[in-house]
Structure formats: C-alpha cells, structure tokens
Structure 1
Amino acid sequence: MTHSYSKAAAAVAVVLFASHQTQAQQIETISVIGARLPVQQAQLSAALTKIDRAHIEASGAISVTELLRGQAGISLSQSGARGAVTQVRMRGSEANHVLVMVDGVEINDLSDGGVDFAHLHLDNITSIEILRGPQSALWGNGAVGGVISITTLQAQEPLSGQLKLEAGDASSSNLAASISGKQGEFNYALNASDYNSDGQNVSRQGNEKDGYENRQFSTGLGWQITPASKVNLSVRHVSASSDYDETDYAVTGLPQDTDHYTEIEQYQGKLNWLFAPEGTEWQQDLGLELNHNDNQNFANGAYTNANQSEKLRLYWQGSYQYQQNSHLSLLTERVEEDFDQQDPSGFSDQARTNDANSIGIDWLHQLSGQWSVSASMRHDNNNFFENAESYQAGLSFYPGQGHKLYISAGKAIKNPTFIELFGFFPGSFIGNPDLQAEHSVSMEIGGELQLSQQWQLSGALYKARLKDEIASSADFTSSINLKDTSERKGAELEIRGQWHQLKLTGAYSYLDSQQPDFSGELQPELRRANHSGFISADYSFPRLPLELFIRASYQGTQLDTNFLTFSTVKLPAYTLVDLALSYRLDEQWKLRLRAENLFDKEHEDVLGFVGQQRQFWLSARYQF
C-alpha cells in the first residue's frame, strides 16, 4: 500500500510541477470559506473545489450527495436509496470530522457531530465550496477533514423566480419554487420545496419499500440601513420523514424488512450586522447564529426514542485590510450547546450542556505580486472539555498565467459528541464522560496548472496523523480514546475545462487511511475506498435548444463490518452513471428527462443496504 501511494504521489508531482508555459490569463475565483474574509483562490494554501449553479442546473440532480459522490477527497456512504442516512468523510476522516455550513451557519447535529446529507436538496442552492484539510483555526471544533460551505439563492435585481415540477418512478415527485428581488434598500429571497417518494426496498430480502418525504423552506432578507451599515437575516427549515430497515443482529447481521422510520426537524438562523465605514479599511461583523436538530424514531407505529440538540453562537469579527489582498481579522465568540435525550420509559432521559468562549486571529499577507503567506490561530476555552488550540499556516506562489504552488500545515480538533460522552441506551450503549478531544496534525502540498485558457489541472498530496481518535470499545457498548495514532495520506487530481460547446469536469482520489486496532497494529479504515473519482460532460448542441449532461462516478473496493460475526467484509467497486437531457422551449420554459443510475448498477456503500436503483425523472421548469 505504501508503494502504491508513492507511485500516485510521484505521478501527481510530475504532472503538476513540470515546466509548462502558456499564454493563458490567470483565472480569479473568490472563496468564501478559505479565510475569515472572501479571498482570491490563488492566495489559498489549501485545496478548494467549487460547484457552481450552472453545473448544478445542468446536472438536474435533486440531492447534494449526487454531486459530491466521487469529488476529490470525498468518501460517501449511503445506507440505501434517497432519504437513507448518508455520511460524507473527507481525506479519510470520520463523518463527524466534516464541518458543514449553509449560508455561513453550521448545521452539524450536536448529538453525533455529523450531518445527514440525505436531507440536503439542491433546489435553492447556488454554489457548493469544498475546502479540504484542517480548518479548525478558521471555523472551530469539527473541521478536521475539511469544510463544506453551501450558499442558497441570493437576492437578484431585477425580480426573478422559478417554478419546477418533477415526477419520477416509485410515485416520486418534487415541487420547488423560488423568488428573489430588491426594493430600495431591501432585498429578499424565498425558497420552498416538497419531495415525496414511495422509495425502494433497500434490504436484500423481502419487498417492503422505504419511502421518504422532505420539505424545505429558506429565506434571506437584507436591509441596507446606510451605505456603511447592513443587516441580514437568514432562516432555514427542513422537515423530513425517512423509512429505514433495522439490522438483524441475531441471525444474518444484515438489514431486514421492518416498519421503522425517523422524523427529522431542523432549523437554522442567522442575524448579523455588517459595518464598513466609508473611507476606512476597517469593517466589523456582529452576529447571532442558531442551529437546532430534532430526531424522533418510531418502530411499528410506536415512539421509541428521541434527541434534540441546539447550538447558539454569538460572535464578533473585526477586519482590517491594510493593503491590497492583505488583511488581519480578529474573532471572538461565545457558544452555548444543549443536548436532550428521551425515551418512553424514561431510562435514557437526560439533559446536558457545554459552553465555550473562543478567540482567534486570521492573517493573510501578499508579500509581492506572486507570493502570499497566511496564518490562523484559535483558542477554545470549554467549560466541560479541556481547553484547545488549533492553527494553520501556509505559503502560496502564483507566478501568473494561472499557475499556483502552495504548501501548508495545520492542527484541527474535534470534541467528543454528546452521544459519545453521555449516550445511554440500556443493553446496547453507555457513554464515556472521560473522553478527550481528538487532535489532527496535517501537512499538504499542492498546486494548479493552467494548461490553456480553457483547461486547468489541480492536485494535492497530504498526510495527517490523528491522536486520541474516538472509537468503539472492544464490545461495542461504549466509546474510548485509542492509545495509538491513526494515519491518513493521499493524493488528489482535478481537471476542468471547455472545448467548444463541451464542458468537462473530473477528479481522482487515492486514499490510504489506517486506524490502530486494540493491539496497536494499523488496519485499513472502513467505508473508505482507496480509489474513487468521477467525470462529467455537459454538451450544448449548436443551433439546437438541447443540452446533454452525463456523469459517471467510481467508488473502489472498500471494507465494512458484519455485525453478527464482527468480521470485516469487502464491498465491491462500482460505477454509477447519471444522464440528463434538457430541451428549452423558450426563454421561460425548459423540459428535462433524467435517468439516475442509468444502467441500474447494483451497489452497496453499507453492508446489506442496496443503493439507489435506476430511476427516471421528467421535469418542467418555468423561469422569469
């Protein structure tokens, strides 16, 4: 495995850093998560992927997971069809080591620290940024593998909106509407969607279908009080119901047809005041954020258990841009976290809290027209966990013509989750309140190569060591900190470009992720393929109102556990192909025929849970 990594690393290094001259102009892309202020991508000393609205619209995809599968550094595990629990891991990290934000508000569920990506739909999303590597110094606890930032529809001028209706197999439907505009000093954006499906049978046995419902609403409001002062309010609400099959721990260790379902309710909100006086280089941002998650589980129509979590964040950020493309930002914040757990018997009932005060600094300095240096530090003072420090530092060199080379190092932290600490399920799991925070130290080298005006190649090599990793105890009844260090290393390649009417995007990832067993020997981690990737093509027919989009994603062989024998099993590699054909009737109307998993490839990301089968969709969209 080490030999394979060396070959992949050498290949990336040769391709990226060989001498190459072109007459192309440097492409400037702005990142909203690469620093505490928006920053040019050329100055970033980290790997960043951006999925824009044009790509989202061309794909016709419904959920975020359809576009994340195969992206550089991403390992995706979906426990069945759409609506089933979906986890994302980045660069070999755990699912709760990825920080996810929607319009700047963290949406991670405090109960387990992760995000169920099944409930993130694309109807109102304008862009997705994937920032890989340790980012706790910028964004706090949990940003170990990286950060995914999602931006929803923003106000536009003049008034604009759209209405979309989709119908598909398995009695599936999706209705979405949005409107945005500006009126004087006020701007607004409203979005709503309603998804329903009978679903499919995700178990290898039986024929009971697992349905899914998802309703979302979001709004963004802005008031430009003065030229220097603006107030913004954003609110997001998700209500979903997902059927699932329980694992048979007594006979097969595989899922079996059962009448189980989960009711999910999420809402997030942010109110902030931006103040940037004219004639100065100072600006400040004062805000309040709320993240609430409510999960209720049912079996055979009876309520079994529930948990609620809520995170309230009050922050102030002051920034000074002391020269072009250079800034210094200071951050202070107060976080209050609450967790509640209940069951009908009352055995599991409990309420827990954690408060934290943090300070941080983010510095970006353009040394010259070709060099930038960055450094970030953060100190977290928790009332329950030990205090922690995180950092990031990097150097970026961009000689022009679209080329870039960077190197960076960083440390990230992940506090234990409330369930790992206090979760109590009689006869199956007991929390461990003595757990320590996880610490990851990482190094990365990467770059971008502008092959021509239309084509760009980028890549990265990285290595990370995770200390005090939280894992299940030997009998799977609690959580422990592993004594030995987990190791992760990998290589990533991305290419994007355009040839006449054809747009191409692709990525490949190599990952070697290992975790020590109870004897200290390193073992490959589960649900992380060594090889993964995707390629997509978007073709607009000349002189015809037709657009063809095709995407193929590859997931290599990966490991999982049979919980009957507690043995490790291999899940076969697979390739999924999605296709969308769009026909524009006029400036307002567009029709689309879409096939998901076109060749009906049987696949499993989680042992025994059959992935999304072939599904056809027909949609009509009206836009003004």
Structure 2
Amino acid sequence: MKRSILSAAIVAAVSPAVADEAPGTDSDSATLQPVQVTATRLSQTVDEALASVTVIDREEIERLQPRQFTDLVEGRAGVSVSSAGPFGKQSSVRLRGTESDHHLMLIDGVRMGSATTGGASWRFLPPEEIDRVEIVRGPRTSIYGSDAIGGVTQVFSRAGREGPPRVNAFLGAGSFSTWEAGLGVAGGTGRTDYSLSVSMFDTEGIDVQDDVGDDDPDGYDNTSLAGKVAHRLDNGIELFGNVLYSEGRSEYDADEPGTGVPYDQAYTDFVHAALRAGIRVPLTDRWDTEFTLAQSRDEGDRVTEGGVSGGSVDQFDTRRDQLTWRNDVRLGERTDLIAGVDAYEDRVDSTADYDEDSRYNVGVYSVVRTELGNHDLEGSLRYDDNEQFGDKTTGQVAWGMQATDALRLRASYGTAFKAPTFNDLYWPSSGPMSFRGNPDLEPEESETFELGARYSASLAYVDVAVFETRVDDLITGFPVRENVDEARIRGLEVEGGHDLGPWNSRVSLTLLDAEDRDSGDELARRAPVSARFDLDRQIGDFSVGGTVLARSRSYEYDFTGEPSRLSGYGTMNLRAAYALDPEWTVEGSLTNVFDRDYETQGGYNNPGMGAFVKLRYQQQR
C-alpha cells in the first residue's frame, strides 16, 4: 500500500506539467529530448531509444552544484549509491539492483574499471571536467561486452566548438575545509575543435568511522587534467583524441589486523585515467569506418603507517589497452547497421601474488535498427572470446511503437554476463582477505525483460518502465569463491520532468524487489523504495533550487549471513546562483540542510550540514 501511495504521489507531481501542454503542440519541438549515443552506439534522441535512458547535461551539472560525481546520479531512476564515506571514499553505484561491478563505466568511449576488484572508480570522477552523463539502464553486454548486466554509464569530458578561444575558470570554498579551483580554454576553427582544462579539489573531509582508526578527519584531494581535440581534413577524414587524467590521495580509517591498534595514517594514492586517439573515415556516402586506440588506468597504492608493525604498502594497478574497429552503415532510409570489433588486454601490477597478471578479450558485435511505419525494431548480437573462460555469446531484441504523437511504447529482452575478476580467480590464500580465488569460475549470467512507455510533450515528459532481471552463477563463497548464488530483481521506475517558463523540475522514483533466490533474503544495500526530486526557478539574474532525496531501509549481511538494518533517510540540499554580469556568476549551496545522520554502508558516516560558495567565470564571444 505504501508503495502505491508513493508512486501515485510522484506521478501526480509530474502530471500537471503534462496537462498544461496546449492541445495540438508538435512534440517534435520538445525541449526535453537530448541526444544520446550510449544505448546502441547510434546517435538518437532519448525519445527514439528503445531503452531507459537518463541524460545529465552541462547546464544541469552547473545548476546542481555537485561536490562529487555521485551527487549527480544518486536517486535517479534505477540508480542507488552506497559509500564508505564522502569525498573520494569507496563508492558503489548500482543500476537496477545489480552489483556495482555489473555496471559498466565508459569515459569518452574508453572502457574503465579495476581488473582486480571488478568495479569502477566512480569516486574519482571530477564533476567540473564533465560535459554530459548518459545512463542506460538494462543489459548492454551484447553491445559492450562484460560488466553491463545492469547497464552502462558513459561520461563525456568537455569539448570545444567553433569560435574564438573562450576561457572558463572557477574558485570555491566551503565546509570541512574544502576548496576547489579550475581553469580551462575551449574553442574551434572551421576544421579543428579543442578543449583543455585543469581542476583541483581538496578537503579535510570528516571522520569516516567512529570506532576505527584515529579521530581525525579523513581528507581527499584530486587534481585533474582534461583535453579533447578533433580535426577534419578536406576529404572528410576526422582525427580525434581525448584524455581525462586524475591523481590524488584519499584518506581512510584502519586498525592493524590482529592487534586492533589504530594506524597513524591510512590512505590511498590513486591515478585514474582514460586516453584515446582515433581516425574516422567516410568510405562511401553510406559507410563510415573508425579505428581507435585507447588505454585506461585504475591505480591505487594503499598505504598504512604506524601501528605495531610500522605499516605497509599494497599496490593494485590495472592497465587496460584497447583497440576498436567500428563501422556505421546506412542500409536504407530507415535501416542502420553498426558492426565492429572490440579488443582489450588487462594487465595487473600488484604486491599480491596472483597466479596470472594479464588476460585478453576479443569481442565481435553488430547492431541493426529499422523503422517499419510506426514500429521500430532493434537487435544486437555479440561474441566474446576471453583468454581465461573461453567464449560467450549474448544478444538483445527490442521493439518500439509510436502509439500517438506524444506516447511511445517499448519492450525488450536481453542476455548479459560478467567475467570473474582477478581477485575472484587468483587471489592468493595467503592474502589479507577472507577468501581465496578459484581459477575454475565461470562468468555470471543474466537475462532481463523490460516494458516501458514514454510520454513526451514540448515542455514535459514522463517515462515509466517495469523490468525483471535474473542473474545466475553469482560469484560468492567462503573460504573459496564459487558460482553458487542466484538473484531475481524486479522493479518499477518512474522518471519525469518539465521546463515551463522559469521553472525546471526532474523527479525519479524506483521501487525494487531484489531477492537472493537461495536464502530468500533481500540483496544487500538495495532499498525497496528510493526517490529524488529536483526543482529550480529562475528569477531574473537569480536562480534558486533544491534537491530532496529519500531512501527506505535496507539490509547488509556479515560473513555468517546475519543481517543488520540500515535505516531509511531523507535529505535536502538547497542552492542559489546570481549572475553578476554575462560572464561572472556566484553560486552557493547548503547540503544536508537538516543535518541528518545516515549511513548508506554500515559503520560509515556521511557529512552533516555543509555550506559552499563558488565564483565562476565564462568568457563570452
């Protein structure tokens, strides 16, 4: 009953904006139809995609004034975040109730993630260097390969466009001894677009754990460099390249194992980077081909100092070298084909004594989309050959129908898989973790059904989706890792928004039933109900707004399977901005206005109320 009431309330909040749409308005003029490319590697509006997609553009990023990347995505439809504290601490970003390592991160097309833990380092993404975020919910393994059981989030760094060089800069400070600064330039000629920027973020943070380590705040600093260039030749060939590089330190609390003595210092020195270069060639009027070379780095040195032993250094570095060949073919006026090859090699450099320290994966994929009157059909198929576990074939089919000018229906079915990590396979029995690896593990596998509907008007939209995902051969076990668990995840997602005059709103609701099929327990840290509401208003040169986040209770489990309860919570953030003139803007925000105590991961604190201010400069042309 409570779920039904909450669902009705969210829909009611969005419905008035839709009802205000004047009869006969042309939906093609909609202002809420951003273009995305992640769902199928085809450039499509969100309305055209046969998937559940959320796009966060640069305008929205600046309006929300996030301190960290997870502030942008937390509470969005199908998205949940749990973290071991704020500001650069270990964070899990789950899509549709699947594990965080079932969620693939791309940066400008570069595949990211740690080969040892399997997860992506969401906590190190610098919001000021991001131009756009695309979240695609639902399986995408048949397009991108392993890890995309729950979906894909692609982050695009800032790019230049034609025009003279424009300088942008910012300087900010606030609670928890936080400061940030950045400087960039972007522009373009008729043939070349370019962008280059650097940003810095530093905070003393908070004491993340009360009963572990020392009582000092656990700080975080991040220095990031981003660059992007594209050059077009006379014959239509395009050369392009991009880099997003971050490095810094994140402190945490730790006691020495076996003694319980707090370390004097515990921190991770990290490097998080995506590099790519490529060439795009128009072979014919209907056929473009593209070659890219890329590398991602996810490096972390975990350092402890003091204690009884004096401390230690544990190194876990992943380097992923990637080669892609992609072909875009227009088979007809209403039919497109994308086909290509993805190849990458993971290399691990670690103080842990893994039996293997590298493996390759080669994937061949194809995507076909066609329009038949009011109906759209889409299919994708992929074959992966992995050095460790052999081959795997995945596929997906989707159907869409334009029921009315404003209403679009869709349905899809897809299979996916997640390859075992190096920790799952090769973790040495003498290591500090409680388990040891098993080289005979098979990939985790899933199948997902989805039904969805999207209503789009010129000033508003509502998107509703229901889904069921079944995951088999989940990797768990103690002391030896095994393919033993099965999970069933069912859910309802509602997302909506409107841009009406000076008002702007976005609203999200997720209802989730995530069950371990063996034990019957809820999956850990999956809240059955979560919601987010963003509301902003422009008043002349002023803008004001706020974000409300709500999340119901959830559970987590110790090694014996004993549950502990994480209480539900609600938080509110407020923000304002004032344009001093066309180039200078001052921003201010209050986070966790009611100073709530809450946990998204047991035993780890989140910040109380905080205040931040920022001065932003954007040179006008």
Same fold flag (TM > 0.5): yes
Contact 2:10 2:509 in 1 (8 A): no
State how far apart, in whole Å, the 2-side matches of 1:397 and 1:122 are.
Answer: 36
State how far apart, in whole Å, the 1-side matches of 2:381 and 2:502 are.
Answer: 45
State how far apart, in whole Å, the 2-side matches of 1:549 and 1:53 are.
Answer: 17
State the shift of 1:330 in Å.
1.3
State the shift of 1:386 in Å.
2.5
Look up the match of 1:162. 168
Look up the match of 2:322. 313
Show the 5 A alignment for 1:332-481.
Answer: 332-342=341-351, 348=353, 351-368=356-373, 370-424=374-428, 425-426=430-431, 428=433, 429-450=435-456, 452-471=457-476, 473=477, 475=478, 477-481=479-483
Letter in 1 for 2:333: Q
SS of the residue corresponding to residue 42 of structure 2 reads coil
Look up the match of 1:612. 607
Look up the match of 1:571. 566
Show the 5 A alignment for 1:269-284.
Answer: 269-277=275-283, 280-284=285-289
**Match among 542, 546, 553 for residue 542 of structure 2:** 546
Letter in 1 for 2:242: S
State the shift of 1:81 in Å.
1.9
State the shift of 1:11 in Å.
11
Deviations 1:166-214 (A, max 9, x none): 1112221111122111135222111211111111111124631100011
State the shift of 1:361 in Å.
0.8
Look up the match of 1:32. 37
Tell me whether 1:202 sits opposite 2:208 in the alignment: yes
TM-score between the two structures when normalised by the length of structure 1:
0.91
Contact 1:207 1:257 in 2 (8 A): no
Deviations 1:3-29 (A, max 9, x none): 988999999999999x99952332343
Contact 1:533 1:555 in 2 (8 A): yes
SS of the residue corresponding to residue 337 of structure 1 reads strand
Deviations 1:138-165 (A, max 9, x none): 1111111000011111112222231000
The 1:124/1:499 distance shift into structure 2, 3 A limit, reads same
Name the Cα RMSD after superposition.
2.7
Contact 2:207 2:215 in 1 (8 A): yes
Letter in 1 for 2:231: W
Q: How many residues align?
A: 602
Letter in 1 for 2:291: L
Contact 1:12 1:491 in 2 (8 A): no
Show the 5 A alignment for 1:519-538.
Answer: 520-538=518-536
State how far apart, in whole Å, the 1-side matches of 2:276 and 2:395 are.
Answer: 26
The percent of aligned pairs where both chains have the same amino acid is 22
State how far apart, in whole Å, the 2-side matches of 1:461 and 1:382 are.
Answer: 33
| Structure 2 residue ranges without an equivalent (≥5) | none
Letter in 1 for 2:359: N
The 1:24/1:84 distance shift into structure 2, 3 A limit, reads same
Tell me whether 1:122 sits opposite 2:157 in the alignment: no
State the shift of 1:43 in Å.
3.0
Look up the match of 1:109. 114
Tell me whether 1:213 sits opposite 2:221 in the alignment: yes
Contact 2:10 2:507 in 1 (8 A): no
State the shift of 1:574 in Å.
0.8
Look up the match of 2:84. 79
Letter in 1 for 2:279: W
State how far apart, in whole Å, the 1-side matches of 2:326 and 2:156 are.
Answer: 20
State how far apart, in whole Å, the 2-side matches of 1:25 and 1:265 are.
Answer: 48
Look up the match of 1:181. 187
Contact 2:124 2:272 in 1 (8 A): no
Letter in 2 for 1:164: F
Tell me whether 1:55 sits opposite 2:50 in the alignment: no
Letter in 2 for 1:601: R
State how far apart, in whole Å, the 2-side matches of 1:331 and 1:7 are.
Answer: 47
Letter in 1 for 2:608: Q
State how far apart, in whole Å, the 2-side matches of 1:148 and 1:358 are.
Answer: 20
Look up the match of 1:304. 313
Look up the match of 1:555. 551
State the shift of 1:297 in Å.
0.6
Tell me whether 1:64 sits opposite 2:69 in the alignment: yes
- Give the stretch that moved more between structures: 201-210 or 95-104: 201-210
SS of the residue corresponding to residue 233 of structure 2 reads strand
State how far apart, in whole Å, the 2-side matches of 1:534 and 1:249 are.
Answer: 40
Letter in 1 for 2:471: L
State the shift of 1:546 in Å.
0.7
Look up the match of 2:332. 323
Look up the match of 1:506. 507
Contact 2:585 2:616 in 1 (8 A): yes
The 1:181/1:395 distance shift into structure 2, 3 A limit, reads same
| Structure 1 residue ranges without an equivalent (≥5) | none
TM-score between the two structures when normalised by the length of structure 2:
0.91
SS of the residue corresponding to residue 458 of structure 2 reads coil
State how far apart, in whole Å, the 2-side matches of 1:4 and 1:377 are.
Answer: 41
Contact 1:204 1:256 in 2 (8 A): no
**Match among 264, 272, 296 for residue 270 of structure 2:** 264
